[in-house]
């Protein structure tokens, strides 16, 4: 379909005023006050695909993928090494999105057999795929080896032996390329990071506690395994680069220690994902160029101090590539003014989705912003809370937002920056079918993942 839908002549889809951050880069207002994204009028999208609908701005996704690749390649070329950027598919993966990432020179990180299946369906070559997970099944390991994935990221001591057994089962004599995920004690997220000696969470092997070194030595000593490097992922939605630099120094120190003890200097270090984005107007993202410069400087300094060669680096951004490229369109339903305090009234604006299509507010207290996208609205604003249709009072989409006082049933409400961990964490709570994902680019919309139907849900119910 094209922007000409909705009867008669093509609408004027020229953006005269971009919506700006945190909306996708092509989102903006036209001369007649309509909103377009990817050159497609939001009203046409809704007429064709209904609501709720996830909209993905292909141009925005590709531009962010390129920005990470070029910023990190440039910064690390200056210190004499190369970088591989893995798109963390758990943020949102479909066949088309895996292809976009690959076309922009990225590889794909997967964390389950399901994510691996999508990457393979997109014809991403196995060597360009990584497999993560703290509890991989034998079947997942077997499938990863069969696909000749570029790396299996081992997450426990017992997994070292389990991967070796999978290599034996396969019996073709090809060693499994392995990284070891370590925890450096750096936990980053939001604006701060903290550095602690203790690790009390399920991922990785502790550097301070010695289990990381033990696992690395076990990989070196195990036939059938090829030790590629050390992996560290410190958190998510990180807005300052310092935490990455502290973790990089720790990982490089561990690499040097392993070299001293075994003579093996691993060729690669993976510094994980977690690059933060803007969710609200006025918030700033972690600029990939700033992150890349900071990390390259930290890696160069640490390697010089340790007297080791600079390793090849990889990173794994997910949210920072797909998050800002996505928005969700909902239809406004019930409006309910609620007196919350003396003289303070909050309008509860109900939409036709909620925690089943965006779990992050309920799971993490995450904040979003919203605006009416289907028509020009009045200038008077009112305090609102956007809520879903589910049977939970915690079913909040946007906790606090100023919306036009004339917001009314039938308006199309857009919520920004829902591209990451929206569709990928969606559920069928209350037997609600999951919304489609529609990509827009250059005036054309294309369904990447179709809408679920009640028949889809009933097909699973064997009575
Ligand atoms: C979740 C995760 C990522 C991606 O995190 P983002 O915050 O989406 O960038 C990368 N690597 C690993 C190991 C992860 O678990």
Mean pLDDT, range 239-245, rounded to an integer: 92
Domain shared by 355 and 316, yes or no: no
State yes or no: pLDDT of 196 exceeds 70: no
Q: Is residue 430 part of a domain?
A: no
Domain shared by 335 and 309, yes or no: no
State yes or no: pLDDT of 4 exceeds 90: no
Q: Which atom of ligand 1 is nearest to the CA of 320?
A: 9
Q: Is residue 65 part of a domain?
A: yes
Closest CA to 267 of 212, 228, 225, 232: 228
Domain shared by 106 and 167, yes or no: yes
Position 445 confidence tier, pLDDT thresholds 50, 70, 90? very high
Position 13 confidence tier, pLDDT thresholds 50, 70, 90? confident
For residue 275, the 8-state DSSP code is B
Cα of 227 to ligand 1 centre, how many Å? 22
CA 163 – CA 156 distance, rounded (Å): 11
Q: State which of 238, 247, 271, 272 you would mutate to test the pocket of ligand 1, scoring each by most atoms of that ligand within 8 A of its C-beta.
A: 272
Q: Is residue 428 part of a domain?
A: no
Q: What is the model's pLDDT at position 285?
A: 97
pLDDT in tens, 356-394: 999 999 999 999 999 999 999 999 999 999 999 999 999
Q: Is residue 425 part of a domain?
A: no
Q: Is the CB of 360 under 6 A from ligand 1?
A: no
Q: Which atom of ligand 1 is nearest to the CA of 91?
A: 8
Position 32 confidence tier, pLDDT thresholds 50, 70, 90? confident
Domain extent, residue 343, equals 2-52+326-418+435-459
Q: CA-based angle 184:187:189, to the nearest 5?
A: 150
Q: Which atom of ligand 1 is nearest to the CA of 317?
A: 9
Q: What is the model's pLDDT at position 197?
A: 47
- How, if at all, do strands 396-404 and 381-387 pair? antiparallel
Domain shared by 248 and 307, yes or no: yes
Domain limit, last residue, from 287, 322, 357 = 322
Q: Is the CB of 183 under 6 A from ligand 1?
A: no
Domain limit, last residue, from 291, 322, 353 = 322
Cα of 316 to ligand 1 centre, how many Å? 6
Domain shared by 203 and 130, yes or no: yes
Number of domains in the chain: 2
What count of other Cβ atoms lies within 10 Å of the Cβ of residue 209? 14
Q: Is residue 424 part of a domain?
A: no
pLDDT in tens, 110-160: 999 999 999 999 999 999 999 999 999 999 999 999 999 999 999 999 999
Closest CA to 286 of 189, 423, 398, 422: 189
Residue numbers annotated as active site: 391
Q: Is the CB of 90 under 6 A from ligand 1?
A: yes
Domain shared by 273 and 362, yes or no: no
Q: Is the CB of 319 under 6 A from ligand 1?
A: yes
Share of the chain above pLDDT 90, in %: 91
What count of other Cβ atoms lies within 10 Å of the Cβ of residue 45? 26
pLDDT in tens, 255-270: 999 999 999 999 999 9
Q: Is the CB of 236 under 6 A from ligand 1?
A: yes
Domain shared by 301 and 388, yes or no: no
CA 454 – CA 415 distance, rounded (Å): 25
């Amino acid at each position: 379909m094209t922007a000409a839908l909705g009867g008669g002549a093509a609408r004027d889809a020229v953006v005269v005023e971009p919506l700006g951050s945190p909306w996708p880069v092509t989102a903006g207002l036209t001369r007649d006050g309509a909103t377009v994204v990817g050159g497609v009028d939001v009203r046409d999208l809704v007429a064709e695909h209904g609501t709720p609908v996830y909209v993905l701005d292909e141009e925005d996704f590709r531009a962010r993928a390129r920005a990470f690749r070029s910023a990190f390649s440039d910064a690390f070329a200056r210190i004499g090494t190369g970088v591989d950027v893995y798109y963390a598919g758990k943020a949102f993966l479909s066949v088309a999105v895996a292809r976009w990432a690959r076309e922009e020179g990225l590889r794909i990180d997967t964390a389950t057999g399901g994510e691996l299946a999508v990457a393979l369906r997109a014809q991403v070559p196995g060597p360009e795929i990584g497999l993560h997970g703290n509890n991989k099944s034998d079947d997942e390991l077997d499938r990863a080896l069969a696909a000749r994935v570029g790396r299996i990221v081992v997450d426990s001591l017992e997994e070292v032996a389990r991967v070796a057994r999978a290599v034996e089962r396969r019996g073709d004599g090809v060693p499994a390329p392995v990284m070891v995920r370590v925890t450096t004690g750096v936990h980053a997220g939001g604006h701060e990071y903290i550095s602690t000696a203790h690790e009390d969470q399920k991922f990785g092997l502790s550097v301070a506690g010695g289990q990381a070194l033990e696992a690395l030595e076990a990989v070196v000593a195990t036939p059938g395994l090829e030790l590629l490097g050390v992996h560290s992922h410190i958190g998510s939605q990180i807005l300052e680069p310092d935490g990455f630099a502290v973790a990089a120094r720790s990982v490089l120190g561990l690499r040097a220690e392993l070299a001293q003890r075994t003579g093996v200097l691993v060729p690669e270090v993976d510094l994980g994902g977690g690059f933060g984005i803007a969710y609200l107007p006025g918030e700033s993202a972690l600029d990939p160029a700033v992150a890349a410069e900071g990390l390259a400087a930290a890696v160069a300094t640490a390697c010089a101090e340790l007297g080791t060669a600079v390793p090849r680096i990889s990173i794994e951004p997910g949210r920072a590539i797909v998050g800002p490229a996505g928005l969700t369109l909902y239809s406004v339903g019930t409006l309910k003014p609620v007196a919350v305090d003396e003289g303070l009234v909050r309008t509860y604006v109900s939409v036709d989705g909620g925690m089943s299509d965006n779990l992050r507010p309920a799971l993490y207290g995450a904040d979003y912003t919203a605006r009416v996208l289907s028509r020009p609205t009045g200038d008077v604003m009112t305090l609102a809370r956007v809520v879903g249709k589910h049977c939970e009072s915690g079913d909040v989409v946007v906790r606090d937002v100023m919306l036009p006082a004339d917001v009314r049933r039938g308006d199309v409400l857009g919520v920004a920056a829902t591209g990451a961990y929206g569709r990928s964490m969606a559920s069928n709570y209350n037997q609600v079918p999951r919304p489609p994902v529609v990509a827009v680019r250059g005036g054309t919309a294309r369904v990447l993942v179709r809408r679920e139907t009640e028949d889809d849900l009933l097909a699973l119910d064997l009575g």
